[in-house]
Amino acid sequence: MDKNTDFIFQKRVERTIENLEKNNIEAFFVQDEKELIDKIMDLVPENATVSVGGSMTLFETGVIEHLRSGRYNFLDRYKEGLSMDDIKEIYRKSFFADAYFTSSNAITEEGEIYNVDGNGNRVAAMIYGPDKVIIVAGINKIVKDLDEAIERNRAMSAPANAKRLNKNTPCAKIGYCMDCTSPERICRNYVLIKSQGKKGRMYVIFVNKHFGY
């Protein structure tokens, strides 16, 4: 990355971390995937029960592979051959996990976390249940404020996910949200996490790269 744009991203990360901490959300900045995995091992002990929300970032950063390493009791929703009932059971068991991993659609410089879900299993577990929630995000997920977070979802996260999932929605054809009424709509639950009551429950780990949508 050019050193001047790197400087701008560094400052944005610093502001965001400062404001997340004010909201009782601990945040870290790591440079690459190796530092990310080291940080995860600091935060989550061996044999912990862990689960994940749907996320491209977790695949791209190697977190899913790490969770499959045998170090943890991983409730693996991506395991081959699972039935819909098996997946439903994993979603429900995830509320009892020691640590829940996910990414985010946008994280504001004001220290807020914005996510839009179809099922709602991800946002439900982020809000309540798991003892720890660990959000892994590339620096591309940082936005200025809630308005930019909403716009980011409409212009990038949701259309890209609809395309990835081969949904029959307008955004998957034109590349922008039309606030559709499609039966295949993937945006149904819009959640802004402003703060945590319990310090030490929610963490954000920024990785100094671009990941996911």
Q: What minimum distance in Å lies between the beta carbon of 159 and ligand SF4?
A: 6
Closest CA to 164 of 44, 55, 10: 55
Decide: is 165 part of the binding site for ligand SF4 (CB under 6 A): no
CB atoms < 10 A from the CB of 85, how many?
8
Stretch that binds ligand SF4, among 42-50, 61-69, 176-184, 196-204 (CB under 6 A): 176-184
Decide: is 170 part of the binding site for ligand SF4 (CB under 6 A): yes
Upper half-sphere CA count for residue 188 (Cβ side, 13 Å): 12
DSSP category for residue 169: S
Stretch that binds ligand SF4, among 31-39, 66-74, 127-135, 165-173 (CB under 6 A): 165-173
Q: How many residues in the shown chain lie near ligand SF4 by CB under 6 A?
A: 14
Decide: is 150 part of the binding site for ligand SF4 (CB under 6 A): no
Return the residue matching tokens 């050019």: 2
CA dist., res. 23 & res. 37, Å (int): 25
Decide: is 162 part of the binding site for ligand SF4 (CB under 6 A): yes
The single residue among 13, 44, 187, 193 that binds ligand SF4, judged by CB under 6 A, is: 187
CA dist., res. 180 & res. 160, Å (int): 15
Decide: is 156 part of the binding site for ligand SF4 (CB under 6 A): no
x/- mask, ligand SF4, residues 38-77, rule CB under 6 A, reads ----------------------------------------
Which pair of structure tokens corresponds to residue 197?
């009551």
Contacting residues for 57 by C-beta, under 8 A, at least 6 apart: 63, 103, 136, 137, 138, 211, 212
Q: In the complex, which residues of this chain contact ligand SF4 (CB under 6 A)? A: 158-159, 162, 169-171, 177-180, 182, 185-187
